[in-house]
């Protein structure tokens, strides 16, 4: 199991990979350790999400795209 990511550290502009394989870019971070605001770059689950901003739950963040 991958190490959990501390989403508090994710600055705007950071790209993340989600557990469902989607990708998103952080646009704002309330620094509550639970949520980040991000814009979807892609979503295999729902391609229509691409370009939309949503709140992403910390446990849905799988990796940081280097």
Verify binding: residue 9, another protein, rule CB under 8 A. Answer: no
Burial of 18 (0-12, 13-18, 19+ CB in 10 A): buried
Cβ-count burial 25-53 (b if 16+ within 10 Å, e if not) = ebeebeeeeebbebebbebeeeeebeeee
Q: Which is nearer to another protein, 9 or 28 (CB)?
A: 28
Q: Which is nearer to another protein, 62 or 66 (CB)?
A: 62
Stretch 20-49 residues interacting with another protein (CB under 8 A): 28, 30, 32, 34-35, 37
Residues that bind another protein (CB under 8 A): 28, 30, 32, 34-35, 37, 55, 57-59
């Amino acid at each position: 199991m991958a190490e959990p990511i501390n989403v508090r550290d994710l600055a705007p502009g950071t790209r993340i990979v989600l557990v469902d394989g989607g990708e998103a870019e952080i646009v704002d971070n309330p620094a509550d350790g639970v949520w980040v605001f991000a814009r979807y770059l892609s979503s295999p689950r729902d391609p229509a999400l691409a370009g939309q901003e949503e709140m992403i739950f910390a446990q849905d963040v799988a990796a940081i795209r280097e």
